Amino acid sequence: MSAVAVSSLAVGALPAPGWSFEPATIAIALLACAAYAHRAGRLSKRGRRVPIWKQGAFYLGVAVLLGSLISPLDALAETRLFYAHMVQHLLIGEVAPLLIVLGLNGPLLRPLLTIPAIARLRPLLNPLVALPLWAFNLYVWHLPVLYEAALRNDAVHVFEHGCFFWAGIFMWGALIEPLPGPSWFSSGAKMAYVVVVRALGCGILGNTLIWIGAPLYPYYGEAERLAGIAPLTDQQTGGAIMFVWGAFVTITLFSWFFLRWAREAEQRQSLLDSGTSPRVAARAARYGRRRVDRAPQPPSP
């Protein structure tokens, strides 16, 4: 927290939050969008056009991430209210990563995967790795000692936000699969993945914040008093926001993958009936292919 913010709280005044100009943050966001647009343009010239909805999702995700870091929400999160910080963390760690991952696919990522250091990160997209990593990151940073350390130290705060963002990228990347995942991770397994993610995150943590009965983060106490909100009410509001977001995402994604699971079962059976091997039929159905090209068979003698 800045010295200006500290002094203003000390005299009982809450300055109106405003937009902050962070040249490095804005430059990184613009660079990411420029690199994406360049790669999408090159693919389009080769006849492999990136769908408009994917491009829109990526740019919107970057905009959400940038807005959460330079808008008045950032000041509210750092100096005033716990529930504002919860909203910011959901935007950084879940909403923005989800939109960005939806905007990616294999052809877009291929140049990055030629860089050895980045290629070695691919195992982090395995659901058996991404899910524990995401859950560990979420709970560790909500321990009061680390949560408040991030609020009191800018470097730790930047690191915290980076951890939330990249844990979200890997968690959603394992589910959405811009790069092909394990063969066993079908839509049925993805439904279970969604339930576990939401239960570990918004379910357990959100309910803990709502029902624990005591404020966990005294850092906000003075600002909460000046804002006229009880510390426990502030914390419960943050937990409720997390819980409602989790319920919405769970219902939406579970329903989506249930419909995909039913469609995959139908396509897989159709391919099996046409003589396709079970392994090939399962993979083709998973990726939405209704037919499988086969090598020409030699004529019967």
pLDDT digits (tens, 9 = 90+) for 170-217: 999 999 999 998 988 988 899 999 999 988 888 889 999 999 989 999
Of 7-11, 62-66, 188-192, 228-232, the poorest mean pLDDT is in 7-11
Residue 80: which pLDDT band, with cuts at 50, 70 and 90?
Answer: confident
Q: Does 124 reside within a domain?
A: yes
Q: Does 7 reside within a domain?
A: no
Total structural domains in the chain?
Answer: 1
The pLDDT, as a whole number, for residue 284 is 64
Name, in order, each residue with C-beta under 8 angstroms of 89's C-beta and a sequence gap of 6 or more. 164
Instruction: Report which of 91, 138, 59, 54 is spatially closest to residue 245, judged by C-alpha positions.
Output: 91
Helix 231-273 with 187-198: angle, nearest 10 deg: 170
The pLDDT, as a whole number, for residue 16 is 66
The pLDDT, as a whole number, for residue 12 is 43
What's CA 38's distance to the chain center, in Å? 24
Q: Does 298 reside within a domain?
A: no
Over residues 54-74, the mean pLDDT reads 95
Domain that holds residue 235: 18-286
Q: Does 229 reside within a domain?
A: yes
Residue 296: which pLDDT band, with cuts at 50, 70 and 90?
Answer: very low
- Whole-structure pTM value: 0.86
Q: Does 179 reside within a domain?
A: yes
Token readout for 25 is 């943050």
Between CA 301 and CA 296 the distance in angstroms is 15
Q: Does 100 reside within a domain?
A: yes
Over residues 7-22, the mean pLDDT reads 59
The pLDDT, as a whole number, for residue 289 is 58
The string of pLDDT tens digits covering residues 230-244 is 999 999 999 999 999
Residue pair 207/240 in contact by the 8 Å Cβ criterion = no
Q: Does 2 reside within a domain?
A: no
The pLDDT, as a whole number, for residue 141 is 95
Of 25-34, 77-86, 210-219, 267-276, the poorest mean pLDDT is in 267-276
The pLDDT, as a whole number, for residue 298 is 45
Which of 283 and 250 is assigned the larger pLDDT? 250
Handedness of CA 282, 186, 113, 101 (dihedral sign): positive
The pLDDT, as a whole number, for residue 224 is 82
Q: Does 294 reside within a domain?
A: no
Residue 33: which pLDDT band, with cuts at 50, 70 and 90?
Answer: very high
Residue pair 170/133 in contact by the 8 Å Cβ criterion = yes
